């Protein structure tokens, strides 16, 4: 039988809150009055003369006694409209509101308004059904088929209202399609929050606490109205239901918006365009969503874009990201992600930011699994090449570049800054560690620069590290050095002592280190095989082993010196004082780790927490504080993130100090050694600048890059001269700045 019921004109627009959820002694408007601060308004009933004018202009209302206005009120500005329930209008003036080239008169025409509060000088025209909304002043609503809020509206947050059953709660399933990492969206959720919730699943009490504090964040009472922030424009839309619009929101031509919070301010307005369908989501500040986008169960970070038919489902997409055309399902993607191609797919993954998905990329296929529970984890700077296909499960270190290929089995690439190649002729995977540092410095340096320059957020809620040399990559490089040494030692023993039992781990590493440092040319004669890098019987060959080993060491020292120098310079600290404190800190850490050797003690655990890098011990302490109730809400958790960011320069500097000790084999770095390290780092910086130029210059010396131009003059007119490249100029300035800084922080 149909769910359609009959309702008398006298009851139409009333009874918003069911009687069983209405507290004793209040009416159905008690929450609405709090939302609009009713005491600050001076509404009055319309006079008989005003009613006469309203009726003459084609307006109707079952009870004009519930049609309230504020002065000045011009009834002539309201035409051909129906009003029901308690309707309250702010002052109206005989003017037009203009937004870009779109101008409409203040007032209400050809609309049906049910139980709404409408602010000063609003323009509402051709709205067929506008129900239970609070409209901010000087807003424009035009040509909307249906716009309504329900008494149990949650505006995209994963909470329950009074009387609701658990099965109506909206969850998001990032990283894993099977739902084993479910999280609840809430306004203000960052990638750091989503990471804590989705990754530490073995911490059952923490999971319960996250659910509790998310639920307690929102008033569970029924009766909240939808709101349109002041200065918003909503036009030519079909269905809008349970949507909270921040001030200065701009929406045009949307097909369906349901159960959303659209965060927007005058400084960071959000925009939604034609053909968009969004359901169950949180949209960050300064976002742009246009042209046929479909998004369901999602959180979109600040200053991010969805365009051209993109599909974002069961995913959290971080700040400063852009997704166009493609399909993104069941993912947690950290800030600064780029994906622009219709035929690229990102399925069931954790991608840790500064990433780019090329055309034809298929990251995630469950065809090799008995269920849809596979996962892919990729560190910062992940870049699968054109038409690359991957299968669950895979894990990648930071700044991995995959060459074009249909990778047939699961991968575990633990060497950062690597180029990965599926050599089908030789039937093996080949990995070139430190590829970017050795052969593509321009891309490596520009990666950090471009993501900093594209960060236009005015409200920073997710802290982001963009430098490619940072604690996470330093941690990976220290581990990579151990692996390269072990694998080189093993390759030598296999060749020289074929059939004999291999020595222990320490001896393998010692032999490999000796070969790599004293006789690097000999490595070329070895087949250095990477272990546990592909789920396959075929081998994985490591290329340019000696060069990569030296590069990692050079990068680590450069990282350490820069980190220390930046900290000393920013806070005016003398190196001697810092070194004494760092040695004390290292001593305490070593004692806690049972006096581990310096090379291992340097490998202090760090967590990429949504783009912010945090020592693992601090994350564990935060988890304990949430579990025990010491931290009671998300605001407290976010305050801890902010405190960590203040502490980060010191933490990073101490991490850099430990990295230098590990690479140089030192117990401490005295002032003379520090000055020598500054000189070494400055030479490395000059090398970086030269390589940036040399790498970019290849685009000009490549014969085939020039075949589409009549001559060099035409090429330079189109591309510009290499010497005029803005980033090459920036690289020169960076070298000069580091030289000046090095001089300031000498001991």
Predicted confidence (pLDDT) per residue in 566-624, tens digit: 999 999 999 999 999 988 887 766 555 444 444 443 456 999 999 999 999 999 999 99
Question: Which pLDDT tens digit goes with each residue over 257-304?
Answer: 999 999 999 999 999 999 999 999 999 999 999 999 999 999 999 999
Question: Which pLDDT tens digit goes with each residue over 30-52?
Answer: 999 999 999 999 999 999 999 99
Q: What is residue 447's predicted lDDT score, i.e. its pLDDT?
A: 85
Phi-psi region of 223 (alpha: psi -120 to 50; beta: other; left: phi over 0): left
Phi-psi region of 77 (alpha: psi -120 to 50; beta: other; left: phi over 0): alpha
Burial of 380 per CB tally in 10 Å (0-12, 13-18, 19+): buried
Average pLDDT over residues 195-223: 97
Q: CA 204, CA 627: separation in Å to the nearest integer?
A: 9
CA angle 217, 223, 227 (to 5 degrees): 80
SS (H, E, C) 462-507: CCCCCCCCCHHHHHHHHHHHHHHHHHHHHHHHHHHCCCCCCCCHHH
Q: What is residue 367's predicted lDDT score, i.e. its pLDDT?
A: 60
> What does pTM read for this prediction?
0.94
- % pLDDT > 90, the chain: 82
Beta bridge partners of 419: 401, 432
Residue with tokens 């690479």: 663
Q: What is residue 200's predicted lDDT score, i.e. its pLDDT?
A: 98
Q: What is residue 591's predicted lDDT score, i.e. its pLDDT?
A: 55
* Farthest CA pair distance, the chain: 107
Q: CA 609, CA 612: separation in Å to the nearest integer?
A: 5
Q: CA 635, CA 188: separation in Å to the nearest integer?
A: 9
Q: What is residue 598's predicted lDDT score, i.e. its pLDDT?
A: 40
Q: What is residue 601's predicted lDDT score, i.e. its pLDDT?
A: 39
Q: Look over the chain and give the mean of its residue pLDDT values, rounded to a whole number.
A: 93
Phi-psi region of 149 (alpha: psi -120 to 50; beta: other; left: phi over 0): beta
Strand locations in 492-644 (E): 540-542, 606-609, 612-615
Q: Is the pLDDT of residue 700 over 90?
A: no
Q: Is the pLDDT of residue 221 over 90?
A: yes
Q: What is residue 602's predicted lDDT score, i.e. its pLDDT?
A: 44
Residue with tokens 């359609």: 4
Q: CA 254, CA 258: separation in Å to the nearest integer?
A: 11
Nearby residues of 193 by Cβ (< 8 Å), 6 or more positions away: 610, 634, 637
What is the CB-side half-sphere exposure of residue 323 using CA atoms within 13 A?
31
Average pLDDT over residues 165-185: 96
Question: Which pLDDT tens digit goes with each residue over 551-563?
Answer: 999 999 999 999 9
Burial per residue of 60-91, b for 16 or more beta-carbon CB atoms within 10 angstroms, e otherwise? ebbbbebbbbbeebbbebbbebbbbbbbbbbb
Average pLDDT over residues 384-401: 94
């Amino acid at each position: 039988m149909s769910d359609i019921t009959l309702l008398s004109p006298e009851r139409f627009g009333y009874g918003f809150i069911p009687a069983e959820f209405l507290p004793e002694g209040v009416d159905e408007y008690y929450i609405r009055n709090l939302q609009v601060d009713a005491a600050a308004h001076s509404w009055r009933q319309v006079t008989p003369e005003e009613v006469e004018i309203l009726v003459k202009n084609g307006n109707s209302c079952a009870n004009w006694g519930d049609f309230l206005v504020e002065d000045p009120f011009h009834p002539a500005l309201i035409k051909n409209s129906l009003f029901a329930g308690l309707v309250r209008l702010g002052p109206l003036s005989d003017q037009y509101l203009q937004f870009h080239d779109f101008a409409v008169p203040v007032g209400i025409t050809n609309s049906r308004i049910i139980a709404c509060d409408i602010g000063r000088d609003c323009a509402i025209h051709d709205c067929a059904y506008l129900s239970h909304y609070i409209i901010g002043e000087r807003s424009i609503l035009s040509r909307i088929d249906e716009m309504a809020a329900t008494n149990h509206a949650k505006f995209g947050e994963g909470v329950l209202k009074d009387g609701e059953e658990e099965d109506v709660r909206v969850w998001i399933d990032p990283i894993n399609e099977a739902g084993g990492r479910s999280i609840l969206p809430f306004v203000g959720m960052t990638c750091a929050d989503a990471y804590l919730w989705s990754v530490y699943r073995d911490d059952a009490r923490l999971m319960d606490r996250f659910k509790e504090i998310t639920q307690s964040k929102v008033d569970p009472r029924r009766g909240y109205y939808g709101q349109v922030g002041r200065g918003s424009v909503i036009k030519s839309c079909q269905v809008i239901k349970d949507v909270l619009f921040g001030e200065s929101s701009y929406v045009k031509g949307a097909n369906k918006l349901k159960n959303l919070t659209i965060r927007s301010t005058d400084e960071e307005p959000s925009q939604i365009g034609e053909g968009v369908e969004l359901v169950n989501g949180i949209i960050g500040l300064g976002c742009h969503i246009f042209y046929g986008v479909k998004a369901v169960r999602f959180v979109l970070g600040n200053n991010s874009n969805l365009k051209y038919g993109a599909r974002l489902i069961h995913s959290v997409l971080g700040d400063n990201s852009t997704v166009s055309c493609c399909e993104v399902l069941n993912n947690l993607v950290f800030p600064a992600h780029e994906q622009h191609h219709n035929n690229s797919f990102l399925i069931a993954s954790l991608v840790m930011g500064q990433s780019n998905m090329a055309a034809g990329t298929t990251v995630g296929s469950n065809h090799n699994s008995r269920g849809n529970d596979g996962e892919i984890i990729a560190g910062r700077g992940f870049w699968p090449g054109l038409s690359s296909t991957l299968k669950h499960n895979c894990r990648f270190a930071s700044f991995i570049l995959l060459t074009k290929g249909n990778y047939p089995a699961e991968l575990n690439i633990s060497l950062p800054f690597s180029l990965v190649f599926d050599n089908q002729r030789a039937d093996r995977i080949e990995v070139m560690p430190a590829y970017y540092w050795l052969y593509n410095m321009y891309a490596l340096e520009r990666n950090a620069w471009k993501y900093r320059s594209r960060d236009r957020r005015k409200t920073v809620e997710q802290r982001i590290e963009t430098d490619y040399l940072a604690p996470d990559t330093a941690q990976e490089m220290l581990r990579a050095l151990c692996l390269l040494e072990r694998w080189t030692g093993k390759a030598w023993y296999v060749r020289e002592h074929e059939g004999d039992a291999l020595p222990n781990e320490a001896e393998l590493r010692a032999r490999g280190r000796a070969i790599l440092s004293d006789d690097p040319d000999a490595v070329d004669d070895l087949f250095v095989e990477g272990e546990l890098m592909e789920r396959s019987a075929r081998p994985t060959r490591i290329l340019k082993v000696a060069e990569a080993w030296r590069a990692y060491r050079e990068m680590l020292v450069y990282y350490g010196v820069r980190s220390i120098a930046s900290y000393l310079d920013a806070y005016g600290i003398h190196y001697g004082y810092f070194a004494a404190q760092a040695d004390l800190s290292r001593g305490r850490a070593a004692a806690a780790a049972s006096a581990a050797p310096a090379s291992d003690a340097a490998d202090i655990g760090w967590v990429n927490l949504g783009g912010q890098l945090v020592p693992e011990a601090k994350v564990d302490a935060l988890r304990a504080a949430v579990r025990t109730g010491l931290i009671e809400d998300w605001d407290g958790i976010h305050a801890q993130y902010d405190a960590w960011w203040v502490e980060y320069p010191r933490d990073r500097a101490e991490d850099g100090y430990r990295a230098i000790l590990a690479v140089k084999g030192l117990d401490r770095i005295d002032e003379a050694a520090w000055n020598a390290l500054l000189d070494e780092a400055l030479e490395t910086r000059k090398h970086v600048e030269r390589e940036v130029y040399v790498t970019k210059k290849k685009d000009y010396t490549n014969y085939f890059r020039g075949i589409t131009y009549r001559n060099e003059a035409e090429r330079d007119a189109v591309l510009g001269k290499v010497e005029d490249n803005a980033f090459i100029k920036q690289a020169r300035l960076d070298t000069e700045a580091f030289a000046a800084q090095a001089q300031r922080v000498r001991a």
